[in-house]
Chains A and B, each alone.
Chain A
Amino acid sequence: MNDSIEAAADGSLDVSKLRSYAYGHSSMMWWGTAGVMAIEGTVFALAVMTYFYLRTRVPQWPPGVASPVLLWGSVNTLVMLASALPNHWTKRAAEREDLGQVRIGIVVCLAFAVVFLVLRIYEFKYLNVNWDTNAYGSAVWMLLGLHTVHLLTDAMDTAVLAVLMFTGPIGGRRFVDVSENSMYWYFVILSWIPIYAVIYLVPRAL
Chain B
Amino acid sequence: MSAGSDALTGISALSPDQQARLERAWGDEPGFYGWLKSVNHKTIGRRFIVTAMCFFAAAGILAAIMRLQLARPANTVVGPDLYNQLFTVHGTTMMFLFAVPVMQAMAVYFVPIMVGTRNIAFARMNAFAYWIYLFGGLMLFGALMVNAGPDAGWFSYVPLAGPEYSAGKRSDFWAQLITFTEVSGLLVSIEIITTVFKLRAPGMTLNRIPLFVWAMLVTAFMIMFAMPSVMFASTALITDRLVGTHFYNPAEGGDAILWQHLFWFFGHPEVYFIFIPALGMMSSVISTFARRPVFGYPVMVLSLVATAFLSFGLWVHHMFATQIPELGKSFFTAASMIIAIPTALQIFCWIATLWLGRLNLRTPLLFVLAFFVILLIGGMTGLMLASVPLDLQIHDTYFVVAHLHYVLIGGAVFPLFGAIYYWFPKITGRMLSEHLGRWNFWLFFIGFNVAFFPMHVLGLKGMPRRVYTYPADMGWNELNLVATIGAAMIAVSMVLFVVNVVISYRSRAATPANPWGASTLEWATDSPPRPYNFARIPVIGGREPLWEASGIKGHVHGLSYDTPELLITTVQDAALDHRMAFPRPTIWPLLTAIAVTVLFISSIFTPWAVVWASIPVTIALIAWFWPTRREAAEILALERKP
Binding site for B on A (CB under 8 A): 1-2, 5, 7-8, 10-23, 25-28, 31-32, 35-36, 38-40, 42-43, 46-47, 50, 53-54, 57-58, 63, 97, 131-139, 141-142, 156, 160, 164, 169, 171-173
Contact = CB atoms under 8 A, between A and B. Distances in A.
A199 to B, nearest CB: 16
A22 B568 contact: yes
B121 A28 contact: yes
Given A14-B557, A28-B194, A134 B246 contact: yes
A2 B557 contact: no
Contacts of B629: 169
B202 interface: yes
Contact of B642 (A19, A50, A136, A141): A19
B255 A138 contact: no
B557 A54 contact: no
B435 interface: no
Nearest to B621: A156
Nearest to A46: B232
Interface of B: 121-122, 186, 189-190, 193-194, 197-198, 202, 224-225, 227-229, 231-232, 236, 239-240, 243-247, 249-250, 252-255, 258, 261-262, 265, 539, 541, 553-559, 567-568, 570-571, 575-581, 618, 622, 625-627, 629, 632-633, 635-636, 638-642
B243 A54 contact: no
A15 B229 contact: no
B247 A42 contact: no
A33 to B, nearest CB: 9
Most buried by A among B228, B236, B239, B636: B228
B558 A15 contact: yes
A7 to B, nearest CB: 6
Given A21-B642, A135-B252, A171-B639, A35 B554 contact: no
Given A15-B556, A19-B578, A133-B252, 14 more contacts: A2-B575, A12-B554, A13-B558, A15-B576, A19-B640, A20-B578, A21-B639, A31-B193, A42-B229, A57-B250, A58-B253, A131-B245, A132-B244, A172-B642
A138 B254 contact: yes
Given A11-B554, A19-B640, A21-B639, A39 B186 contact: yes
A38 B225 contact: yes
Contacts of A139: 247
A32 B642 contact: no
Given A171-B636, A172-B641, A134 B258 contact: no
Contact of A43 (B194, B231, B249): B231
Contacts of A14: 557-558
A38 B642 contact: no
Contacts of B559: 15-16
B225 A15 contact: no
Nearest to A145: B239
18 contacts: A7-B553, A12-B554, A12-B555, A13-B554, A19-B579, A20-B579, A20-B581, A25-B571, A28-B122, A32-B122, A35-B224, A43-B232, A46-B228, A46-B232, A50-B236, A54-B255, A134-B253, A172-B642
A138 B246 contact: yes
Contacts of A171: 632, 635-636, 639
Given A2-B576, A54-B255, A135 B246 contact: yes
Given A16-B558, A38-B224, A22 B254 contact: no
B642 A1 contact: yes
A23 B642 contact: yes
A20 B261 CA distance: 46
A26 B568 contact: yes
A52 to B, nearest CB: 11
A197 B642 CA distance: 42
A92 to B, nearest CB: 15
A69 B344 CA distance: 56
Contact of B247 (A2, A43, A135, A164): A135
A141 B197 contact: no
A43 B228 contact: yes
A187 B496 CA distance: 53
A169 B632 contact: yes
Nearest to B223: A39
A46 B581 contact: no
A51 to B, nearest CB: 10
A137 to B, nearest CB: 8
Contacts of A172: 639, 641-642
A140 to B, nearest CB: 11
B192 to A, nearest CB: 10
Nearest to B554: A11
B474 to A, nearest CB: 40
Contact of A26 (B556, B558, B567, B577): B577
B343 to A, nearest CB: 25
A141 B571 CA distance: 40
B627 A31 contact: no
B636 to A, nearest CB: 5
Contacts of B567: 15, 18
B249 A135 contact: yes
Given A39-B228, A43-B232, A10 B554 contact: yes
Given A28-B580, A31-B193, A160-B625, A132 B639 contact: no
A12 B556 contact: yes
Contacts of A19: 578-579, 640-642
A13 B556 contact: yes
Contacts of B231: 43
A173 B198 CA distance: 17
Contacts of B193: 31, 35
B485 to A, nearest CB: 45
A172 B642 CA distance: 9
6 A-B pairs with least C-beta separation: A11-B554, A16-B558, A35-B190, A138-B245, A132-B244, A135-B253
A57 B255 contact: yes
B279 to A, nearest CB: 23
B554 A132 contact: no
Nearest to B194: A31
A31 B196 CA distance: 11
Nearest to B245: A138
Contacts of A40: 228
Given A32-B122, A156-B618, A142 B556 contact: no
Contacts of B254: 54, 57, 135, 138
